[in-house]
A and B are shown apart, each in its own frame.
Chain A
Amino acid sequence: MKMSYLILLLIALFLPLFPLSIVFNAVYARLTHPLLRMALLLGWPLAGLYLYSVLQPQLPGWLVSWALATAVFYAFRLLAMREMGIWSGYFATSAWACLWLPLLYGDANTMLYVFWFGVPLLLLALLVSGLERRYGAAYTELYGGLAQTIPRFSGVFVVTVLALVATPVFPAFLGMLNILVASEPLVAITLAGMWAIWSWAGMRLIQGMIVGDPSSDVIEDLPLIYTWGFGVLMLLLIGAGFTLTGNF
């Protein structure tokens, strides 16, 4: 019995549940290199899923409440977070906590959901790094006006955030629908409410970056080839989402 709880706690470290989620966020905040951050963003939940598949613990029903509470807690904290690096860490915590739900429902697509949220998170980590390189920091409402100053970068940023907060037609939307359909009413209501908070936080993030007067300094925009690459990647992601999880 004690052993099974220890196993659950170990998995809860990687599919972060509060307060164990503090470890993930503390490590993530200390990493500054974008590649390390990207590795952590994707590797952390995959490690959790790997441990789950190897150890196969019995999942108690009360985990739903714990997972939901963690997801809502971090979603709510996103609203006032202005540092974009920490913002992406909080969002990741909220999204990865939600992975417990498909695990509990026995959803075979759980691994895919990591990628549906993970790919936009990786892109956001790259964009955060790009902003830090250009402005020295990635804070919302600090400089603003990116839509005029660096329009291609802004376009990519907006689409990435929309993909992250599960906007249709991005695969995270299909993932959320899959989880909602399998949920009990109260869980579904909470999850749908949390989804709306994600959207609110996402729009605040977008608003804090792109709106405002353009900078008088010349800031290097995203090269055109990268923008095309991003577009192709998004189309592939959307296609993969519809193909792999769009079959309800």
Chain B
Amino acid sequence: MNTLTVLVPALPIVSAILTHLLSPAFGRRVARLSVGFTLLTFLAAATSLGLALAGEPNHAVSLGKGWGIILFDPLSSLMALVISGISFIVHLYSVRYMAEETGYARFFVLLDLMTASLLIMVSAGDLITLLIAWHMIGVMLYFLLGQDTQSPSAYRYGMWTFMVYRIGDIPLVLAAVVLFHTYGSWSLTFIFEQLAANPNAETFFGLPVAEVVGALVALAAFARSAQFLLHTWLPYTMEGPTPVSALMHAGIVNSGGFLINRFAPLYIHTGDVLHWVFVVGLLTAVIGSVLMLAQNDVKKSLGYSTMGQMGFMIMECGVGAFSLAIFHLIAHGLFKGTMFLSAGGVIGKARHDDGVPKDDLYTFVVEREAPKVQQPLLMMVGITLVIPVLVLVLTHWWVAPDLYQRQGAVILLFFGWITGAQLLFSTYHMKAANPWRLLGLILVSFIVVVVGYTLISHAFDIFLYKDPEFASQLYRAAGIDIVWFDTLVIVTTIIVVLGWVRAYRVEKLGSLIDQKPSHWWMNFYSLISREFYMIDFYSGLHRRLLAASARLNVWFRWG
């Protein structure tokens, strides 16, 4: 078992070394070796996950004194399977996709090293190993994004990514320093045991360890998962090869959610940190989605879509739904990876035939043609509001009757309700021969999605956090005063309902589309179309820092 635990992160390293050494002899065929090793890694990870599902107890393998610890636990085995699976697909895809690029063997070496870094990160059982892997991911990504060494723009945006990652390294390094100072050990297991024994332990300046480290770890996660203010690198890193974009959006950017989960035993002892995590995640989800809608560049739009999803993932951590964040990052990874890898094929096909069926959905979404006969609006609003609530409540009550005691679950249900209501409400506009059939189909789809999502996320909860008390503690740590909570839910509901009332009035009084947009609206649009001027701000700051450095060199030119 110990061999298998070490084998999973070791295989890609062996592959990288062999690919580099054998490339002069084998030429481009060496890529097959790399693909073969990645398949082996995937099989080893699948076996490891199978053992974890079969109830194999958690354990750790130590390769050095005090650090170099490789963990085997549900979280590491699950993440290892996801990473090796996505990496295998990316390897396979790259064999032909990169065939005409220079540095073909180097690309596979870097892919292998990136896979190894990710696998070491998810299985790191101590802070030094975690820091090494965390740091190496940034370095590998920089060189992968700059695979085309003749493209200065690829390197320029690669540098943005690298620097945000390095900024994100700083809080993690500081968190490690604080933990080592307090507990005198790098081992995560030991640290979490000590923390459980004395949750109120203090560190520098008498500050509580859990709060300080929780905040620092969250900051590191924010930088890695492109949270607001640290997000600009993500939409601009499309210059790298498509397989790298797929790997980045499907795996690397999810590291933040993983990191917060790894430190879950620490977060149950925190007070306010998870609330801030929620606020940052919510802000990122909203801003990412708004910016996505405002883009006219499809690639940037995809980048902002990932940013919005990462915001949602971090927000899930903020409400205490840690295992749901893991499910979310896996689902999003598979979805976004598929999108990137199939983009080339879709574009190729679209050149011959757009392949869009001229059905009800097409006439509504593309041609914006309203139906001739509409159902009564009030009846539709009633269905829209009630049915999603019923579906969500019944499904969640089915898997866990006590779920409504958790504020985080209520917030996520609230989001589910809004999404479901929006979906159903859209059918009101759609032109269909049989609107009730259409509504029924949408409803069935919604129920399938909600039931599937609820069941799988519940399964993740049981697998990752076997102790129900631990999961409850996470929700409690994320909870706020019940009066505040209820007030917030009511205020948000009022805002959402007012939005719907406005939509109702617009329907009754006629479309706003023909009206001239207000000055306020145009200002808002220019703000989001310029991405809140954040790119300009960071570019200006970058230029000023370099100019200041150059000025210093002129002033002190003698040494």
Question: B67 to A248, Cβ gap below 8 A?
Answer: yes
* B163 contacts A247, C-beta separation under 8 Å: no
Cross-chain contact A207 with B135 (CB below 8 angstroms): no
Q: Specify which of A79, A148, A196, A199 is in contact with B546 (CB 8 Å cutoff).
A: A79
Q: Is B169 an interface position by the 8 A CB rule? A: yes
Partner of B559, one of A26, A168, A180, A184: A26
User: Within the complex, which residue of A24, A25, A168, A188 is in contact with B136, where a contact is CB–CB below 8 Å?
Assistant: A168
Per-residue B-contact encoding for A139-153, CB less than 8 Å = 1, 0 else: 000000101100000
Tally of A-B residue pairs with Cβ under 8 A?
Answer: 116
CB-nearest residue of chain A to B180 = A181
A188-B174, A199-B162 given as contacts; is B552 within 8 A of A77 (CB)? yes
Partner of A180 from the list B135, B152, B173 (CB cut-off 8 Å) is B173
Say yes or no: B139 contacts A162, CB within 8 Å. yes
Identify the interface centre among A80, A81, A162, A188: most chain B CB within 10 Å of its CB.
A80
* Residue contact B173 to A192, C-beta cutoff 8 Å: yes
Q: Is the CB of B64 within 8 A of A242?
A: yes
Range class of the A interface residue count: 35 or more
Residue of B169, B552, B559 contacting most chain A CB atoms (<10 Å): B559
> Quick one: CB contact mask for A144-167 with B, threshold 8 Å, 1 for yes?
010110000000000000100001
How many angstroms between the C-alpha atoms of A189 and B167 in the bound complex?
11
In the complex, identify which listed stretch (B142-150, B278-286, B296-304, B380-388) lies at the interface while the others stay far away. Answer: B142-150
Distance, CA A189 to CA B175, complexed state (A): 11
Q: B65: which of A29, A188, A196, A247 is its contact (CB, 8 Å)?
A: A247
User: Least Cβ distance of B356 to chain A in Å?
Assistant: 41
Least CB distance, A111 to chain B, in whole angstroms:
21
A77, chain B: closest CB distance, angstroms: 5
Residue of B nearest to A141 (CB): B152
A94 contacts the other chain (CB 8 A): no
A177 near B152: Cβ-Cβ < 8 Å = no
Partner-contacting stretch, out of A33-41, A43-51, A122-130, A210-218:
A210-218
**A188 and B177 in contact (CB under 8 A), knowing A79-B549, A200-B166?**
yes
With an 8 A cutoff between CB atoms, is A185 at the interface?
A: yes
CB-contact partner of A80 in B103, B142, B546, under 8 A = B546
A199 & B149 in contact (Cβ 8 Å cutoff) = no
Interface residues as binary, A228-248 with B (CB distance below 8 Å gives 1, 0 otherwise): 000000000000001000111
| Per-residue B-contact encoding for A110-139, CB less than 8 Å = 1, 0 else | 000000000000000000000000000000
- Whether B186 contacts A167 by the Cβ 8 Å rule is no
Q: Which residues of chain A are within 8 angstroms of B409 by Cβ–Cβ distance? A: none
Cβ of A63 under 8 Å from chain B:
no
Distance of A242 Cα from B173 Cα, bound (Å): 19
Within 8 Å CB of B102, what residues of A?
Answer: 148
Partner of B162, one of A73, A81, A173, A203: A203
Contact of A79 with B545 at beta-carbon distance under 8 Å, contacts A148-B102, A168-B132, A211-B146 already known: yes
Cβ–Cβ < 8 Å partners of A162 in chain B? 139
Question: With a CB–CB cut-off of 8 A, which chain B residues contact A24?
Answer: 559
- Inter-chain CA distance A227–B162, complex, in Å, is 27
Is A21 an interface residue when CB atoms closer than 8 A count as contact?
yes
> Taking the complex as formed, is A31 at the interface, i.e. its CB lies under 8 A from any CB of chain B?
no
Asked if B135 and A167 make an inter-chain contact with CB atoms under 8 angstroms apart, the answer reads: yes
| A21-B387 Cα distance, complex, nearest whole Å | 74
Most A CB atoms within 10 A — which of B132, B173, B546? Answer: B173
Q: Using Cβ atoms and an 8 Å threshold, which residues of chain A touch B177?
A: 180-181, 183, 188
B549 touches A76 (CB 8 A): yes
Contact A213 B559 (CB under 8 A): no
Interface flags, B34-52, vs A, CB<8A=1, else 0: 0000000000000000000
Binding site for A on B (CB under 8 A): 64-67, 102-103, 128, 131-132, 135-136, 139, 142, 146, 149-152, 155, 159, 162-163, 166-167, 169-170, 173-174, 177-178, 180-181, 186, 204-205, 545-550, 552-553, 556, 558-559
A-B contact list, 21 entries, CB within 8 Å:
A76-B549, A77-B549, A80-B546, A81-B553, A145-B149, A148-B150, A162-B139, A167-B135, A168-B135, A169-B132, A184-B204, A185-B174, A185-B204, A189-B170, A193-B170, A203-B142, A204-B159, A211-B150, A211-B151, A212-B152, A242-B64
Q: A246-B67, A248-B67 are in contact. List 6 more A-B contacts (CB 8 A).
A: A77-B552, A78-B549, A162-B139, A185-B204, A192-B173, A211-B146
